Amino acid sequence: MTQSDLFAEPSAGPGPGPVAAALAAFRDSGSPWLALPFFREGAADAVAKKIDARVAAGAQVLPDPSAIFRALMLTPLPAVKAVILGQDPYPTPGDANGLAFSYVGGRRLPASLKVILAELAPEGETPDLSTGDLTPWAERGVLLLNSALTVEAGKAGAHLRLGWSQLTDEAVAAVSARAEPSVFLLWGAQARAREALIDTDRHGVVASGHPSPLNRARDFPGSRPFTRANAWLEKNGRAPIDWRLA
């Protein structure tokens, strides 16, 4: 299956819609994540069917189909060292690339991402805001997973109740079930609620408020999640993560 096949609109014939086609391509990849019940027991197919129905009805679904499962492709289960959970992709076409919080649009970085990147800068120094593409993190073992892997253009949260959350729960539980220690960076109430799925005797949790400027508690700035995550990894015998994007 070529990339152009994934981008194709659903035809009038019996062929699969774009999300079903993306799911089929992901299955062909042989990813270790395919062992999750979400993929084995039909939930993934049900979600794809719902979203393809929205496409057929005229909705513009984001990100591009080839990027829907990108977080799982770039960070297979055996490679996970850290987990960062987001909500859903940016709802503006061209902004999202399948990784939580990652931004590849042509405008200024989203406000939440600016707050996140500010925590990478040494105390008192100006953060590097030259890129918001978090692909290097995913390639170094950071699972950047949204609670919904798709959204509709201009409609943030549109797919949060279509069944994707089962995948997120199962992915968190699968990382937690491994003997090798990993660290979970949980930002905001929705992410922190999944701490119940984590074996905190074996894995680290670095929790804080959400980085959104709309968070009135402002309990993310200054929390230094990346420094704390690396300190936990080193203490538990794992190499720290290189959080640089350049």
Helix 43-56, helix 164-177: angle, nearest 10:
150
E-strand stretches of the chain = 61-62, 82-86, 142-146, 151-152, 183-187, 204-208
**Alpha-carbon gap, residue 135 to 245, rounded angstroms:** 8
**Alpha-carbon gap, residue 155 to 145, rounded angstroms:** 19
**Alpha-carbon gap, residue 57 to 174, rounded angstroms:** 35
Give the dihedral of Cα atoms 32, 33, 37, 39; nearest 10 deg.
-100
CB 144 within 8 A of CB 84: yes
Q: Of the residues 28, 45, 52, 88, which is catalytic?
A: 88
Q: Is 88 a catalytic residue?
A: yes
What one-character DSSP code corresponds to residue 103?
Answer: B
CB 60 within 8 A of CB 41: no
Q: Could you list the active site residues?
A: 88
